[in-house]
Amino acid sequence: MKTNITITALFLLVTGFIFAQQRENFKITDEWLAKIEQIAPSETTVKDVSKKKILVFSKATGFDHWTIPHNAEMLKILGKKTNAFEVHVGYDIENFDKKNLKKYDAVVFNNCNPRGKKRDLFSDLLEDNTSFSAQEIAAKSAQYEKNLLDYVAKGGGLMILHGAIVVQNNSMEFSKMTGGSFDYHPKQQEMHVKEVDPNHPLVQAFKGNGLTHVDEPYFFKNAYFDYNFRPLLYIDTNKIEGIRHTVTNDKNYVSWIKRHGKGRVFYSSPSHNAQSLDHPELLQFFLDGLQYVVGDLKCDDSPIGK
């Protein structure tokens, strides 16, 4: 038993050192920004479109993904370099007031994970920044969620990066809008993310080769199994270590698009580590995703269904 504990402790120590070294090597420096600007696409897939305003909401109250600031900088670079998007990074819950949401063509949830079992980002933000009672927080949190649901249903765009799928993880209505809720993930590992349909316009960046990188293999629950979305990328479950449940489908979808009322939703699980942004094809994928959610890039987003 002591030997097993020692081995486990050693593994965690080595793993922690490796991740710490990765973060050290990927600090947001002038050199890193210049590198991302160099490899970022210089023009959009769909050209001659009006400039769109994007809110990149980047406040986590739970697990703080170290790539949050990297993603924000990357999106600002995409917007500036292509001159297609005016990117605003937000952290305050007031961004989800109806009048404020109307300022934007799309919202990006940038790994903004809530904390605890409640999994309610709006409630967390109210608890942290107001003196409201528990009853008032519950009511206002529900209102903010409704504001967002209505915003998308009326034509707003929503792009969700990686862990932000848990923003309202226990809300079935939210899950239906996003396409699913987070269930769990095995350990970080190298994985080959593949295109579901290499001919789909939104995955042309990968040129039929998919993407090999180190990330967390996400698994989903709730509305996910209705498949009310058009899947874009998947991982082969037969090649993933640490799966906790019986797998009935060897394709686990990790990115998709879908309609919600008049609006559009794009989800990408790839986005846990900053080093993934070294792949120009991933930056192009995110740019195309932005063009999809604002309505510029038209493509098949019909759900595959059960």
Q: List the domain boundaries for the chain.
A: 28-293
Joined tokens for residue 74: 């990357």
Q: Quick one: which of 14, 86, 33, 24 has its CA closest to 55?
A: 86
Eight-state DSSP code of residue 120:
B
CB 297 within 8 A of CB 57: no
pLDDT tens, residue by residue, 42-99:
999 999 999 999 999 999 888 777 789 999 999 999 999 999 999 999 999 999 999 9
Judged by DSSP in three states, 12 sits in helix
Torsion of the alpha carbons at 253, 289, 143 and 172, rounded to the nearest 10 = -10
CA–CA distance, 49 with 201 (Å, rounded to integer): 17
CATH class given for the domain over 28-293? alpha beta
For 94-153, write each residue's pLDDT tens digit.
999 999 999 999 999 998 998 988 899 999 999 999 999 999 999 999 999 999 999 999
Helices 134-153 and 121-129, axial angle in degrees (round to 10): 130
CB 167 within 8 A of CB 112: yes
> Which pLDDT score, from 0 to 100, does residue 6 have?
59
For residue 190, what is the enclosing H or E element? Answer: strand 189-195
Strand 106-110 and strand 251-260: the pairing is unpaired
Q: Tens of pLDDT along 12-33?
A: 454 444 445 556 667 899 999 9
Q: Would you state the structure tokens that stand for residue 244, as one six-digit string? A: 């906790």
DSSP 64: B
